[in-house]
Amino acid sequence: MRVVTLPVSCTVEYVADVRNEILEAFQQSSTVLLSVSQIERVDLAGIHLLYSAKREAVRRGHRLLLSGDVPEALGAALVTGGFCVQVPHGAPELEALLLEFAGKDAAQHDRIEQKT
């Protein structure tokens, strides 16, 4: 298992570096643990990073696990962005949101593919 600690600023300026670290972790291990508890600032790019990491794990047949309490900034960004209706408090709740998103995304992709 590889552990990747998300940075204090999980914003557009920093997500490319974190993305590379996550991809490297997937090359080294089939299970990657993302620690979210250090996040103090997050924007849409940071949230997208979480969803992209989950999709990449599914694509590779790997596991992505989250650890830590969901910081206030991340919870608020998820609610404000419409990703959930109430703030997830811990990693299991956040993982459930990511799984739900991945499922909806895959279903939508399948519907689009069937139309074309």
C-alpha span between 17 and 15 (Å, rounded): 5
Q: Could you tell me if residue 50 is left (phi over 0), alpha (psi between -120 and 50 degrees) or otherwise beta?
A: alpha
At 30, phi and psi to the nearest 5?
-85, -5
pLDDT at 14: 95
Q: Is the pTM of this model over 0.75?
A: yes
pLDDT at 113: 47
Binned at pLDDT 50, 70 and 90, residue 109 comes out as: very low
Per-residue pLDDT of 16-67, as tens digits, reads 999 999 999 999 999 999 999 999 999 999 999 999 999 999 999 999 999 9
Q: Strand, coil or helix: what is 70? A: coil
- Please, what are the domains in the chain? 2-115 (3.30.750.24)
